[in-house]
Structure 1
Amino acid sequence: MAIRLGLGLPQLRQYDLAKDVTDVARTAEQIGYDSLWVYERLLVPESPAQGLYGIPGLPWPDWYRGMAHSLVTLTLAAAVTERVRLGTGIVVAPLHGPAQLAKALATLDAASGGRVIAGLGPGWSTDEFAAAGVRPFEERGETLDEVIDVCRAVWGPDPVSYDGRITKIDAAVVGPKPVRPIPILVAAAGKKAMTRVVDHGDGWIPVAMGAQAYADGWQRLQDIAAERGRSQPIERVPRVNALYSAKAHDGADRQPYQGNAEQIVEDLAALAEVGMDEVLLDLQTTPRDAQEFKDVAAEVYEKALAAGL
């Protein structure tokens, strides 16, 4: 049941970006975490056009306010670590120019010695798409497909050529190249998005799923892979958004990954029983500062090891 454990980096406004990102990154590597991760939120509208994840009436969490840029944060961590993999979990790919995003990821991979994992998703916020000035929100799935294709072209041998709906590259040299092919993990829940994982991705990065929902999703993904004749393995790296508390959370209203370290590890063990390659554990929302964040990360890691994870 042994799995790799990854940790989300501090990007929220209670942290001091000038020192906390590098401090947490160094400490996480020393503790034993296998990877470090970031995610993306461009803005928080005062009057959202839609609820969280597009669900009507669901409020956006306050911790989204003032979130640091994902790739800048990951670059800070890359500069002070040597072993841990460096993942985006998740970057909203259609908010970026395809060639620019591909080049940024390749540069980070080259600079870090081949440690980057590209976790990409289509996004859900119409407000973010409007602010970014990119392709229409309704085309985000097709745009994500093209971003993935452009990344693979740009990371491949020169001269690079690509002729897509958005991107036109006419026999050009594009460098630097990544040290090795960067794994692309795709966020997906519905059938159409899971088909994208099978057809275009190296792996699946489901978000905020309990063990049963994850098991159901993994079965659907396997079925689609069988239907489409995919034989290559699909890497599984679920993202877990934990709500840590020093005391156990009692009551029937407890959500998955909510409570003290023992409860979070119990939920991770249930997830691991389904099968995964790695888990992205984000603990940053509840600690008050970087020291508390490091203490919580160490406690959860130690208890996960003791539980055989």
Structure 2
Amino acid sequence: MPVSLGLGLPQMKQYDIGRDVATVARAAEEAGYESLWVFERILFPEPATQGLYGIPGLPWPEWYRSVADPLVTLTLAAAATDRARLGTSVLVAPLHVPFQLARSLASLDVASGGRVIAGLGTGWSLDEYAAASVAPFEKRGAVLDELLDVCAAVWGPDPVSYEGELTTIAPSNVGPKPVRPIPVYLPANSPRATRRLVDRADGWMPVAMGPAQLAEQWRQIQDLAAQRGRERPIEVCARVNAEYSAKPFQGEGRQPFQGSVAQIVEDLVAHAGTGVSEFMLELQGTTRDAAELVDVAAEVYEAARAAGV
């Protein structure tokens, strides 16, 4: 059975979100994409106090200089589409007040007719944590755990009540409620994160960096799920950070999903046998504008389906 294919929506500085989000969302849905996705980056420190992903010396990419708010972007896409699921890959959970984020996701789910997927992570930027002022970086795992608790409470039946480190909800009616339980997808970048995924999430959101690595990570998660007695299946939505170029990448050192449409599709085929149920294609960083993003996304979709993905 073919895997699902999703597309990242235009949020970066080369796009006009007031016009381009709806245009790309409609075109992607018409092309056949089953889901539309956003990511979160709230600032671009200058000079950077740490490298990209916290790696010393690794520069931040230029396209991070301006990234549109993810939930605003998804709201625009929801209004322009009818069928595509609407996901976050990912929201940096500890940058948000848990109660407010739970309500925003529920409202978006209602507005979209039950299409939201909540991909949540903890991020890595110390500057973003300082700017958001919700909790210190050292508390990131605990804040994500509390957010998951608050979402379960807020999305559940009234009266809602909760007592946590950041959040106190007196017995209250809190609405609107999601159309259906909103699926929660989490990463698994550490032993604690993997346990959280197995115990609490509906899906796993890895970054596709090579089929052997992805298959081994998936095997480890399945082993842990069996050890902990999980019976529900775990969905796997792999994020593809593509570096598209009109011409094929030549020479040594090509990274996964780097190069032409044919090379990107070749890598999708290689990763498709690893247990992935969905690929989320991020193409916006290396396309010039919405017109090129629409064209490349359609070409990738058609070629991937023709290749059996």
Partner of 2:170: 170
Taking the TM superposition and a 5 Å limit, the aligned residue runs for 1:224-235 are 224-235=224-235
Q: Is the 8 A contact 2:235 2:277 kept in 1?
A: yes
DSSP 3-state at the match of 2:280? strand
Structure 1 counterpart of 2:14, one-letter code:
Q
C-alpha separation in 2, matches of 1:264 and 1:297: 11
The reply to whether residue 63 of structure 1 matches residue 59 of structure 2 is: no
Partner of 2:30: 30
Runs of 4 or more above 4 Å deviation: none
Moved more, 226-235 or 98-107: 226-235
Taking the TM superposition and a 5 Å limit, the aligned residue runs for 1:145-184 are 145-184=145-184
C-alpha separation in 1, matches of 2:109 and 2:300: 28
Deviations 1:76-120 (A, max 9, x none): 000010000000010001100001000000000001100000000
Partner of 2:14: 14
Gaps of 5+ in 2: none
C-alpha separation in 2, matches of 1:236 and 1:23: 28
Q: Is the 8 A contact 2:87 2:118 kept in 1?
A: yes
Deviation of 1:188 (Å): 2.0
Partner of 2:266: 266
Deviation of 1:52 (Å): 0.8
Gaps of 5+ in 1: none
Partner of 2:130: 130
Partner of 1:290: 290
Moved more, 211-220 or 129-138: 211-220
Deviation of 1:193 (Å): 1.0
Q: Is the 8 A contact 2:218 2:275 kept in 1?
A: no
Q: Structure 1's 55 and 208: CA in aligned 2 closer, same or farther, altered over 3 A?
A: farther
Q: Is the 8 A contact 1:4 1:278 kept in 2?
A: yes
Q: Is the 8 A contact 1:40 1:70 kept in 2?
A: yes
Deviations 1:247-278 (A, max 9, x none): 11012211100011111111111111111111
State how many pairs are aligned: 309
Partner of 1:250: 250
Deviation of 1:208 (Å): 4.5
Structure 2 counterpart of 1:195, one-letter code:
R
C-alpha separation in 2, matches of 1:196 and 1:60: 29
The reply to whether residue 143 of structure 1 matches residue 139 of structure 2 is: no
C-alpha separation in 1, matches of 2:105 and 2:269: 32
Structure 2 counterpart of 1:159, one-letter code:
P
Structure 2 counterpart of 1:64, one-letter code:
Y
C-alpha separation in 2, matches of 1:136 and 1:148: 18
Q: Is the 8 A contact 1:145 1:200 kept in 2?
A: no
Partner of 1:83: 83
Partner of 1:44: 44
DSSP 3-state at the match of 2:37? strand
C-alpha separation in 2, matches of 1:152 and 1:158: 12
Give me the identity figure in percent.
63
C-alpha separation in 2, matches of 1:50 and 1:195: 28
Deviation of 1:209 (Å): 2.5
Structure 2 counterpart of 1:228, one-letter code:
R
Deviation of 1:206 (Å): 0.9
C-alpha separation in 2, matches of 1:229 and 1:169: 32
Q: Is the 8 A contact 1:8 1:36 kept in 2?
A: yes
CA-based RMSD: 0.9
DSSP 3-state at the match of 1:18? helix
TM-score of the pair, normalised by structure 1: 0.98
C-alpha separation in 2, matches of 1:280 and 1:144: 23
Structure 1 counterpart of 2:234, one-letter code:
I
Structure 2 counterpart of 1:279, one-letter code:
F
C-alpha separation in 2, matches of 1:53 and 1:197: 21
C-alpha separation in 2, matches of 1:162 and 1:129: 24
Structure 1 counterpart of 2:245, one-letter code:
S
